[in-house]
A and B are shown apart, each in its own frame.
Chain A
Amino acid sequence: MTTRTLLRVRRPGRLAAEAAALVIAAAVAFPLYWMLLSAFKPAGEIQSTEARPWTLAPSLDSFRRVFEQQEFGRYFVNSLIVAGSVVVASALIAFLAATAVTRFRFRFRTTLLIMFLVAQMVPVEALAIPLFFLMRDMGQLNTLGALILPHLAFSLPFAIWMLRGFVKAVPEALEEAAYIDGASRTRFLWQILFPLVLPGLVATSVFSFISTWNDFLFAKSFIISDTSQSTLPMALLVFFKPDENDWGGIMAASTVMTVPVLVFFVLVQRRLVSGLGGAVKD
């Protein structure tokens, strides 16, 4: 709290800063506002070249079109399944791995850490080619597994890297006390360490959730023939037409795709900010 009062400028400068902050906030939020607005605009207003920043006749037509489009609901569920599996699995696996590299000293520990760091830099898109063949050989093409497995692998290095700070922050004395009280290593891991690291896990999950939910490339390349296994980004593309884009449909579908992430973000926002602080501070 004192930090804030100290950093604060108590002069007319502050009012200007606050005005600037509000204007910038409005500008940053505008694309999202425009997306929502256009999703609710009736077709006639979207097609009009006036581009009014409000609508007097909100309609659900675009949303109706989106959900009437074949299997949109299914794509939505598929997206949820893929992102949900990746978040849960990568959180658990990364928690174990982060514990291993922060609370144990063993040979190759530093090597491993460097490898996790390097792994974050690997361009996912370049790996689409070999992964395509791998998924084909594993018989995973056209299944959600082809989306879950690669994303799991891609979100792990960053998750491990980020969780490190949180696991390290749990005092060693606590671990010692747990053992003296007769807790087994497994018990310490899941009943003491895990709850303490949970805020960090939440912050980390945001990243795996977003990168998976956003995935466009793998959904496009690995789900070729069985569209029932497709995810939301593909559903969005349906509304792009060579002659004339259905902007109302695109914006409504975008809204449906964006809102769950926004909700997720708002829910974890506090933890995210403190989490980032914790992760980079160490």
Chain B
Amino acid sequence: MTADTTAYKTEGPGAAARRGGGPARPPRRRPASSTRRPGWTPWLYLLPALVLLGGLLVYPIYQLGLISFLEYTQAQVSGGEPTTFQGFGNYATLFGDSQFWQVLLATVLFAAACVVATLLVGCALAVLLTRVRALPRLALMMAALGAWATPAITGSTVWVFLFDPDFGPVNKVLGLGDFSWTYGRYSAFALVLLEVLWCSFPFVMVTVYAGIRAIPAEVLEAASLDGASQWRTWRSVTAPMLRPILVVVTIQSIIWDFKVFTQIYVMTNGGGIAGQNLVLNVYAYQKAFASSQYSLGSAIGVVMLVILLAVTLVYLRLMRRQGEEL
């Protein structure tokens, strides 16, 4: 895509002089900022990014789609057997498998639960942060940053350990004896949800808190001078100003939680007993890398891609409706 888009832009008249750029250049007033006659400069700046994204994102997406239409198993990958075109065969297999629908449903419900929990906790704590003095605020901020910074894999192992039936403190405190959280389907999902909530609410909290703080003091002062109550100020001033931020954190949470991989993989040991805790991501991975059914794994990947693309389109529409300029 880089090649043909650059081709159409010819160098602007100022380009040669700009490249010369030395002290000899006459001190002629340039057009304000680079917004006029940019020539090829923006494309030069974009080049490294476009090359990387083209090679490592766009091309793999194309490959993903392609593989999903082929027969691609161990025999083709290392056995040198010819690949055959399957049309929608892989998709037919996939959609005909009741496990796929079960995993899809579990993925959507699990992601939705994570998003709702993350947003509620994150926003509530952001508001809480604005109401406390510096010391408690620092404590909560630091604890949240700690949870946020914890790598997904260590977070997963620590949470599994906390809820370990034999050595974990949680069962002791709750008096659950040797109840195994990872054994049952719902308790395992609940445990993963807690971990996901723990490591993802800080993003929402910090962002929303930063958003509240960024509201100009004059606006709030004006509201209070006009005699607005606290509630009224929140409803008519704060909330509308926060809406763009809330959209951002919601969409980011949807995207992240829909793609949870490490937590499920590590905490439920690859998708739970008999695959009861599989989500699409882990399902695709297991199909491709554990059972070498690369085409089926790719087809699942395509389904995920389509779902996330739909989320993105909604996001774009929301942004457009708010009149945000790209």
Q: Which residues of A contact B (CB under 8 A)?
A: 1-4, 6-9, 13-14, 17-18, 20-22, 24-26, 28-29, 31-32, 34-35, 38, 46-51, 53, 93-94, 96-97, 99-101, 103-110, 112-114, 117-134, 149-150, 152-154, 156-157, 160, 172, 175-176, 179-180, 182, 184-187, 210, 213-214, 216-217, 221, 233, 236, 247, 250-251, 254, 257-258, 261-262, 264-266, 269, 272-274, 276-277, 280-281
Contact = CB atoms under 8 A, between A and B. Distances in A.
Contacts of A217: 261-262, 285
B150 A97 contact: no
A124 B244 contact: no
Interface stretch (B51-59, B88-96, B112-120): B51-59
Given A6-B221, A35-B161, A269-B145, 7 more contacts: A2-B220, A3-B213, A100-B41, A107-B9, A125-B281, A129-B298, A179-B30
A18 B304 contact: no
Contacts of B99: none
Contacts of A103: 33-35
B46 A34 contact: no
A185 B21 contact: yes
A187 to B, nearest CB: 8
A14 to B, nearest CB: 6
Nearest to A138: B55
A34 B139 contact: no
Contacts of B144: 25, 28
Nearest to B265: A216
Nearest to B166: A49
A17 B154 contact: no
B118 to A, nearest CB: 13
Contact of B161 (A128, A176, A221, A251): A251
Nearest to A152: B52
B131 A7 contact: yes
Contact of A122 (B9, B153, B308): B308
Contact of B49 (A93, A114, A258): A93
A132 B56 CA distance: 11
B37 to A, nearest CB: 10
14 contacts: A3-B213, A14-B132, A18-B132, A22-B140, A25-B139, A47-B167, A49-B166, A104-B42, A129-B301, A175-B33, A257-B154, A264-B149, A276-B207, A280-B245
- Per CB-CB distance, the 3 closest pairs between chain A and chain B, nearest first, are A126-B301, A184-B21, A277-B210
A21 B140 contact: yes
Contact of A112 (B46, B64, B142, B312): B46
Interface residues of B, number: 119
A156 B51 CA distance: 11
Interface in B225-247: 244-245
Contact of B59 (A104, A134, A176, A273): A134
B219 to A, nearest CB: 9
Given A3-B213, A6-B217, A236 B60 contact: no
Interface string B50-91: 101101110111011001000000000100000000000000
Given A24-B140, A26-B143, A51-B167, A117 B130 contact: no
B211 interface: yes
A276 B262 contact: no
B13 interface: no
A201 to B, nearest CB: 15
Contacts of B133: 14, 18
A128 B35 contact: no
Contact of B151 (A131, A172, A213): A213
A31 B155 contact: yes
B185 interface: no
B21 A125 contact: no
B167 A261 contact: no
A184 B8 contact: no
A42 B53 CA distance: 48
B57 to A, nearest CB: 5
A129 B261 CA distance: 15
A150 B63 contact: no
Contacts of A47: 167
Given A96-B45, A123-B305, A123-B308, A28 B259 contact: no
A273 B46 CA distance: 28
B245 A216 contact: no
A21 B135 CA distance: 10
A272 B173 CA distance: 36
Contacts of B308: 121-123
A168 to B, nearest CB: 10
Nearest to B307: A123
B298 A3 contact: no
B245 to A, nearest CB: 5
A108 B298 CA distance: 30
B56 A126 contact: no
B46 A96 contact: yes
Contact of A119 (B57, B152, B261): B57
Contacts of B326: 110, 113-114
